[in-house]
Chain A
Amino acid sequence: MSFSGVKLPEFDTLVTRHTAAARQMEELASRLYGELTSAGLDTTPAERIRKLAAQVGQEAEDLRNRQRIVREIERHKINLGASVATGSLIAVPDSLRQAQGQLDGALAAKAAIAAGRGDAKAMAELQRYAGRVNDPDFVKTFLAKLGAKGMTELSAALGLQVRANVTSKRDPQQVKQVQQVMKLLATALAKGTDPEDQAFMGDTFLDQLKKEGRAEHKALEVTYVGYQAQALIWRASDGKPPFSKRFMEVVGRDAIVHQKELSDSRIPYANSMDLATVLGISDSMQPGGPRMGQPGEPIKASVIDDLAQAAQYSQPAAQALLFHTPKGWDKSIMKYLLTDRLDGFNMTGNYAPFAGLLRTALSGKDKESLKYANEALTILKDELKGVFELGGDGKLQIAKQDQLKRLSFLAGPIGSIMAAHIDQVFGVLEDGEPGLRGVRADEMDRLLAFVGSDAAATKALVEAEMQRMLSMMHESYRRDGGEQINEVLLPEARFMGHILETRRLYLLAQAKSDEQAREEMKSLINSALSELTGPTGKLAARFGLLGEKANEKLTPMAFEKLSALLVDRMLQEGMTTGSALQQASNERMMTMSMIKTMVLGTRIARGQWSAEARADLKGKSFATDSQPPALKPLDEIRADPVMFDDFIAWARWHTKVESTLQTVKEAMDNSAGVDVHESFKVETY
């Protein structure tokens, strides 16, 4: 690239002269115009000169802007671009915008370094640059001037300042400023290490981060490895923008490998805590993102917790970090974290980042997600061996409380991952060719009981299965008008039996009474249904129900939508007190009531009523007066609650739901009451 810049003092003279020329030409244009007009001559030359004057004026303004930047560069003795030997030449980026970005980036880096040394004025000045992170020139210059070493040591220096503040001055303003700087560092670092971002610094910078991350640094009396300080930048990320796949491939993986090396070569978990935790100021280093750690307790965060925090925001990044086996290892990073390193998460109790990381990496529809979800489930079912056993009273008992406690933070993420792969989980229990390898049916029951220890995760599973049921009904009606509906309902009901009963057994194993367990199970069904229904419910989102009219043509798509629309409405009514659904005696009866509603909604959406049903329309509020009578448009029926109820009663009568569902009910009872109990070798109770 050729040199771009200015020569002093020539450039300053140019600015002055060009500015004067603009004024002079403007004056000339106006006087010439007067002369030409009064002499009755063509005024074109004067008009043309006025235009030229305006152009020169604009140029002069640009020159003054550039001069302002040049002055700043001179004043702060900043060197932008390639260094130039001749003293009177100053390198200035070609475009003004670029020049401004680079200047600000360099000034911000200078202020950051001064702030790291404790300069309060520089710290205040640094706050001004928060809005500049969208300018790639700013970010690049900022990162380049700080360097990987500077980034690392600045984080440590700021941490020490916070500690000094917390122990003596107690200036909340300063803590806030530090948090904002950490946020700035996190955003800049995420951008500068993302090959897709214009601010990408190149692979050398990533390698330098690695080198500094592994190196020992010292600040005051504290010796630390670089990653312990870099971790403070990672945890400051709120995912906007997320750290990239490349960052996780290069720095993220290395940080984990390095942590393992330290743990293996020094003492277990040596240097595993981030610097803020080491300094006891972890709470103060937590910026706007989701709060880490246990509610009401001081935040403890390990380097790996912080890395997980940064990696959880993008699926490619999360997968790049977890789905990789480092050189010389016999297992993937995911497996390492779920086995050898598992206790590390319990040491900090800072579960949310790793839980989020697992969710992001393993919940996708892609092949890798499924493959590793399978691996995670296999690991976990092994870890769960012996946890649930037959107790002396013939009931399920938690034989290894400690082991369950150790694993318990995984119940949430594993539950939502199983919900994301509900078809494959179903396959293990109900299909000849399961979509998950190496997990037997009784092992799946153990996994379900484990997920059953987490209310939210169980709800996610129930919801996922409810949606699956509706889809299966749609398929059945599309295939043959629901002739073989029981063939799909029986396995679905059995599967739901597993999900519900494992949770119930878990609750009973927690010394809950039958009555308490029943109430919890019923409220589980209700809360799953309330997630599904309503304008913000999952059905509305999945089928695009908002603002939909029912009387569309019955194309296959519209059929499913219409069915979902009716089911949604009827289930919402089912949520009101006194409804059949609410009066059901237990969770299985409630589920049956829901299944009935789904079948009915699907049946109505299909239309094509029998001659008998059509004959029965005569004189009904929802039928037309014509001969023979026909159904009024569904929108009209739906708009009138009384008419709608009459219509549903008619439809229910002619669908004959009740009789077909008896065997479905028996299937669910059988799987819940017998199969699940057999998995655990416990009595039926």
Chain B
Amino acid sequence: MPGPDRELMQAAAQRIQKLSDDNWWALHDSCQLMEAEAWVGPTGNRFGQSVHDCQRELRAMLAQAVAMSRDELVKTR
């Protein structure tokens, strides 16, 4: 039988996973619209680059949070 701590941790890990799933695509539209040349020109190009970088980092952070919670769950026995 899992202990109460583990149950709590499992729930937490699930919620973090959900946060990640729900927000994984937050910047997707911006990226796609920029790829479709919604705004062109030097400043526009810099913005496009920045949005892509931002999306990459957002996803990395989400993945890191999920990974940490999973590791913690494994440790909680």
To the question of whether A and B form a pair in one complex, the answer is: yes
Check A95–B23 contact: CB distance below 8 A.
Answer: no
A residues less than 8 Å from B68 (CB atoms): 36, 41-42, 45
Docked-complex contact B72 and A41, CB < 8 angstroms: yes
Knowing A14-B34, A41-B68, A52-B57, the reply to whether A24 touches B39 (Cβ < 8 A) is: no
A17 in contact with B50 (CB, 8 Å): no
Cα A52 to Cα B50 in complex, Å, equals 11
> Are B42's CB and A94's CB within 8 A?
yes
Question: Chain A binding site: helix, strand, loop or mixed by DSSP?
Answer: helix
Interface stretch of the complex, out of A4-12, A116-124, A518-526: A4-12
Are B44 and A4 within 8 A (Cβ)? yes
Chain B window 20-57, contacts with chain A (Cβ cutoff 8 Å), 1 for yes, 0 for no: 00110011011001101111111110010011001001
B36 pairs with A41, CB closer than 8 A: no
Q: Is the CB of A28 within 8 A of B51?
A: no
On whether A56 and B41 interact (CB within 8 A), knowing A17-B33, A39-B72, A46-B65, the answer reads no
- Kindly state whether residue A25 has any CB partner on chain B within 8 Å: yes
**Contact: A49 with B58, CB < 8 Å?**
yes
Q: How far is the CA of A24 from the CA of B29 in the complex (A)?
A: 13
A6 and B19 contact, CB distance less than 8 A? no
Residues of B near A48 (CB, < 8 A) are: 57, 61
Contacts of B16 in A (CB 8 A): 32, 35-36, 39
- Distance in angstroms between the alpha carbons of A104 and B44 in the assembled complex: 22
**A residues within 8 A CB of B65?**
32, 35-36, 41, 45-46
What is the bound-complex CA distance between A41 and B71, given in angstroms? 10
Q: Do the beta carbons of A25 and B72 come within 8 Å of each other?
A: no
Which residues of chain A have C-beta atoms less than 8 A from B38's C-beta?
6-7, 10-11, 13-14
Closest to B46 in A: A94
Q: Is A176 an interface residue (CB 8 A)?
A: no
Tell me whether A13 and B72 are in contact (CB under 8 A): no
The answer to whether B15 touches A24 (Cβ under 8 A) is no
Say whether A59 contacts B64, CB under 8 Å. no
| Given A4-B42, A7-B37, A52-B54: A35 and B19 interface contact (C-beta under 8 Å) | yes
**Given the complex of chains A and B, what is the CA–CA distance between A42 and B41 in angstroms?**
40
Alpha-carbon separation in the docked complex, A34 to B31 (Å): 28
Contacts of B62 in A (CB 8 A): 45, 49
- Which of A14, A32, A42, A44 gathers the greatest number of chain B CB atoms within 10 Å? A14
In contact, B54 and A55 (Cβ under 8 angstroms): yes
Cβ-defined contact, B33 with A13, below 8 A = yes
A632 at the interface (CB under 8 A from B): no
B residues less than 8 Å from A94 (CB atoms): 41-44
> A4 to chain B: which residues have CB within 8 Å?
40-44
Q: A14-B30, A25-B58 are in contact. Are A2 and B9 (CB under 8 A)?
A: no
- The CA of A11 and the CA of B9, in the complex, are separated in Å by 43
Would you call A14 and B33 a contact (CB within 8 A)? yes
Residues of A near B41 (CB, < 8 A) are 2-5, 92, 94
Q: State in angstroms the CA–CA spacing of A94 and B47 once bound together.
A: 12
With an 8 A cutoff between CB atoms, is A31 at the interface?
yes
For window 230-280 of A, CB contacts with B under 8 Å fall at: none
Chain A residues lying within 8 Å of B13, measured Cβ to Cβ, are 39
- Tell whether, in the assembled complex, residue A14 and residue B39 are in contact, meaning their CB atoms are under 8 Å apart: yes
Residues of B within 8 A of A92 (CB): 41
* A620 CB–B CB distance under 8 Å: no
CB pair B23 A28 closer than 8 Å: yes
Contact flag A10-B43 (CB < 8 Å), given A25-B58, A52-B57: no
* A7 cross-chain contacts in B, Cβ below 8 A: 36-40
- Chain B binding surface, main DSSP class: helix
Least distance between B35 CB and chain A CB atoms (Å): 10
Once A5-B40, A7-B36, A13-B38 are accepted as A-B contacts, the answer to whether A45 and B64 lie under 8 Å apart by CB is: yes
A347 to B18 alpha-carbon distance, docked (Å)? 90
Residues of A within 8 A of B29 (CB): 13-14, 17, 21
Name which of B34, B54, B72 has the most chain A CB atoms within 10 A of its CB.
B54
Residue of B nearest to A25 (CB): B26
Closest residue of chain A to B30, judged by CB? A18
Residues of chain B lying within 8 A (CB to CB) of residue A626: none
Closest to B37 in A: A7
- Asked if A168 is at the interface of the complex by the 8 Å CB criterion, the answer is no
A608 at the interface (CB under 8 A from B): no
Q: Is A610 an interface residue (CB 8 A)?
A: no
Contacts of A66 in B (CB 8 A): 39
CB–CB A56/B27 < 8 A: yes
CA distance in complex: A309, B19 (Å):
72
B residues less than 8 Å from A39 (CB atoms): 9, 12-13, 16, 69, 72
Give B23 Cβ to nearest chain A Cβ, in Å.
5
* Alpha-carbon gap, A24 to B27, bound state (A): 10
Interface string of A464-496 (1 = CB under 8 A from B): 000000000000000000000000000000000
Residues of A close to B72: CB separation below 8 A: 39-41
Q: For the complex formed, measure the closest distance between the CB of B12 and the CB atoms of chain A, giving whole angstroms.
A: 5
Given contacts A17-B33, A18-B30, contact A25 B23 (CB under 8 A): yes
Q: Tell me, yes or no, whether A662 is within 8 Å of chain B by CB.
A: no
A21 to B34, CA, bound (A): 14
Q: How far apart sit A66 and B16, CA to CA, in the bound complex (Å)?
A: 36
Q: How far is the CA of A95 from the CA of B68 in the complex (A)?
A: 42
Return chain A residues, CB-CB under 8 Å to B22. Answer: 28
By beta carbon, the residue of chain B nearest A2 is B41
Q: How far is the CA of A11 from the CA of B47 in the complex (A)?
A: 13
- Closest chain A residue to B27, Cβ basis: A21
Residues of chain B within 8 A of A46, CB atoms compared: 61, 65
Within the complex, the shortest CB–CB distance from A507 to chain B, in Å, comes to: 72
B54 touches A56 (CB 8 A): yes
- A3 neighbours in B (Cβ, 8 Å): 40-41
Q: Are the C-beta atoms of A24 and B37 separated by less than 8 Å?
A: no
Contact in complex: A10, B36 (CB < 8 Å): yes
Q: Does A38 contact B (CB under 8 A)?
A: yes
29 contacts between A and B (CB under 8 A): A2-B40, A5-B41, A7-B37, A10-B33, A10-B38, A11-B33, A11-B39, A13-B29, A13-B38, A14-B30, A14-B33, A14-B39, A17-B30, A21-B26, A21-B30, A28-B22, A28-B26, A32-B65, A36-B68, A39-B12, A39-B69, A44-B64, A45-B61, A49-B58, A52-B54, A52-B57, A55-B50, A59-B51, A66-B39
Q: Kindly list 15 other residue pairs between chains A and B, CB separation below 8 angstroms, not including A5-B39, A7-B37, A17-B30.
A: A5-B41, A6-B44, A10-B37, A14-B39, A17-B33, A25-B23, A25-B58, A31-B19, A39-B9, A39-B13, A39-B72, A42-B68, A45-B61, A55-B50, A66-B39
Top 5 nearest A-B pairs (CB, nearest first) are A4-B41, A10-B38, A45-B61, A17-B29, A14-B33
